[in-house]
Amino acid sequence: MKRFIILILTIAILLTGCWDKREINQLAFVQGLGIERGKDDMIHLIVEILRPGLLTAGGGGTGGTGGGSAAGKPYAVFQASGVDFAKAFANLNDELPRSLFMQYNEIIFLDEKFARSGIYQTLDFMTRNPEFRRTAYILVVTGGSIQELFNLPSSNELERYPYKEVMGLISNQANTASSYVSDLNEFIETLEIPKKAPITGRLVIVKKDGKATGIRLSGSAVFDNDKLIGFLEEQDTKAVATLMNKLKRSTLTLDKGLKGEKAHISLVVTKARTQISPKIKDGDISFDIKVNVEAYLNEQETKYELTEPENLEKLQTMVSKKIKTAIEHALFILQKKYNVDVVGFVDILHKRNPALWKEVEKDWDKIYPDVKFNVAVKSVIKRSGLSSKPIHPR
């Protein structure tokens, strides 16, 4: 009897299948998800779905176009609407012959109008649904619609569809710091810190004669809680990345020579380390900001020999001044124009002086715009390239 029971249990285990399995030919692989708020105030969900047959065949097929995509493209664009994101998502699933598969999607595109109206409900839905990747990047799209973005003709032969082109831009911005791109996880974690504001990348659709011709990452989108309130230019974004210790590499250009004459000197910043310390004096809160920068000379129009200590010291001073000015300008915009803290000064104050933070927390929105920042930058130019001396044409 025992042997019989063991046999039955063994057979039952072997015959057990996955209750939630889905066949691969029943899935619609999403690589690019866009959200817009229409003139009707409805939420429009737009997705870019891969067409594996054309992808592997080199894009030369002539299959169905799917949602208006041109024949031969390795993807199709579909969209649906709803009163909120959850309803739009359900409607799109109902209208497609395959189930949406979100786990391969690494970018969430937000229309500017939608971002300004508040994105909390959408983020809440995504964090509760296990199919949405917490590592998916968030981008605010300006200069055109998401439909224009997904239907954008490839600007070059390097990438075959818009999603891959944007992924390449995100990867490359690590070397330029022209934008600051947050993923879903970082964005939500920032929202959970009291009085700290999220920031993420701005994707601009470039147009010529009214027609979309290309894209570029330019600056960053600034939020107050879950609502978009404005943008930072590229130089301000670099300054913010420096303050957050997120700057990996960046270019810096000086428009004056060592004697103040008009000139062009280009450097590459390879390291930036920032220390921020809160101070209180006579009841006033301030922050000391110390930045240490390492860079190397990339190009110069001047004839100075930077092997000479005096010239090198002057150049380092000019670099420090340029970075200090950029940081102060970014802080001015964040304080006076937007009244938000994307750097995390509140978090630093809370950790260093919990008692003081508890005292000022409820009035921080009024205190923050008048907080003083004492910025000090020290720059070191490690090398001047393969040649330390300028070229002297004969």
Identify the CA nearest to 105 among candidates 69, 150, 72. Answer: 150
Cα-Cα-Cα-Cα torsion 230, 88, 137, 123, nearest 10 degrees, comes to 70
- Confidence at residue 55, expressed as pLDDT on a 0 to 100 scale: 56
**What's the rounded Cα separation, in Å, for the pair 200 and 95?**
32
DSSP class of residue 183 equals: B
Rounded to a whole number, what is the distance in angstroms from the first to the last CA of the chain?
Answer: 103
- Confidence at residue 243, expressed as pLDDT on a 0 to 100 scale: 97
Identify the CA nearest to 33 among candidates 82, 98, 83, 89. Answer: 89
Residue 303 sits at the vertex; the CA angle it makes with 301 and 308, to the nearest 5 degrees, is 125
- Confidence at residue 65, expressed as pLDDT on a 0 to 100 scale: 35
Residue with tokens 């920068």: 293
DSSP class of residue 174 equals: G
Instruction: Return phi, psi of residue 84, to 5°.
Output: -150, 180
- Confidence at residue 67, expressed as pLDDT on a 0 to 100 scale: 43
- Confidence at residue 220, expressed as pLDDT on a 0 to 100 scale: 97
Burial string for 154-186 (b: 16+ CB within 10 Å, else e) reads eeeeeebbbbebbbebbeebeeebbbbbbbbeb
Amino acid at 174: A
- Confidence at residue 68, expressed as pLDDT on a 0 to 100 scale: 41
Whether residue 125 contacts residue 169, with contact meaning beta carbons closer than 8 Å, is answered with no
- Which residues does residue 110 pair with via DSSP β-bridges, in sequence order? 35, 140
CA distances to 131, 158, 173 from 29, rounded to whole Å, are 12, 22, 26
Query: 385's torsion region: left (phi>0), alpha (psi -120 to 50) or beta?
Result: left
- Confidence at residue 69, expressed as pLDDT on a 0 to 100 scale: 43
**pTM to 2 decimal places:** 0.86
Whether residue 284 contacts residue 372, with contact meaning beta carbons closer than 8 Å, is answered with yes
**What's the rounded Cα separation, in Å, for the pair 261 and 335?**
34
How far out from the chain centre does Cα 167 lie? 11
**What's the rounded Cα separation, in Å, for the pair 220 and 230?**
9
Local mean pLDDT, 10-residue blocks, the chain (394 residues): 58 55 76 93 93 58 39 82 95 91 93 96 93 94 93 63 86 88 96 94 93 91 97 96 94 85 88 95 93 89 74 92 97 96 95 92 93 97 60 50
Long-range contacts of range 339-342, CB-CB < 8 Å, 24 or more positions apart? 339/224, 339/365, 339/368, 339/369, 340/197, 340/222, 340/223, 340/224, 340/229, 341/195, 341/196, 341/197, 341/368, 342/196, 342/197, 342/198, 342/199, 342/222, 342/240, 342/244
Element (H, E) at 354: helix 354-360
- CA atoms within 13 Å, Cβ hemisphere of 213: 6
